Amino acid sequence: MLKTGARLRSQVCETEVVVVRAGDAETALHCGGHPMVDLTASPSEQRALDPRFASGSALGKRYTDEAHTVEVLVTHAGEGSLALGDVALERKGANPLPSSD
């Protein structure tokens, strides 16, 4: 279960994230096709990057699910892409500023 403020790392690449909004997601956060682990945990040596989840993650960008209930901030970029289970997270765009007429 995700918690706001949790720091996680990928088991198959260099990606690291901070959970900004956890929502009520019961599905584990994945990177590169495998579950992410606590930042202090050692990643498994026997896992390989899943080609379906190899589009990468960008440093300093936020990623969210379709319903915007889960949001993570990438603190270290890597080759794996982020997902909740088998559903890929999308990169969150900037909010438009209000016009000043």
Q: Please state, in angstroms and rounded to a whole number, the distance separating the CA atoms of residues 45 and 6.
A: 23
- Ramachandran region, residue 12 (left: φ > 0; alpha: ψ -120 to 50; beta: rest): alpha
List, for residues 39-89, the tens digit of each pLDDT value. 998 877 788 999 999 999 999 999 999 988 999 999 999 999 999 989 999
Q: What are the sequence ranges of the domains in the chain?
A: 7-91
Secondary structure tally for the chain: helices H, strands E? 0, 10
List, for residues 5-29, the tens digit of each pLDDT value. 999 999 999 999 999 999 876 788 9
Query: pTM of this prediction?
Result: 0.87
Q: How is residue 52 annotated by DSSP?
A: G
Pairing of the two strands 7-9 and 62-64 = unpaired
Confidence of residue 101 (pLDDT cuts 50, 70, 90): low
Q: Please state, in angstroms and rounded to a whole number, the distance separating the CA atoms of residues 21 and 15.
A: 18
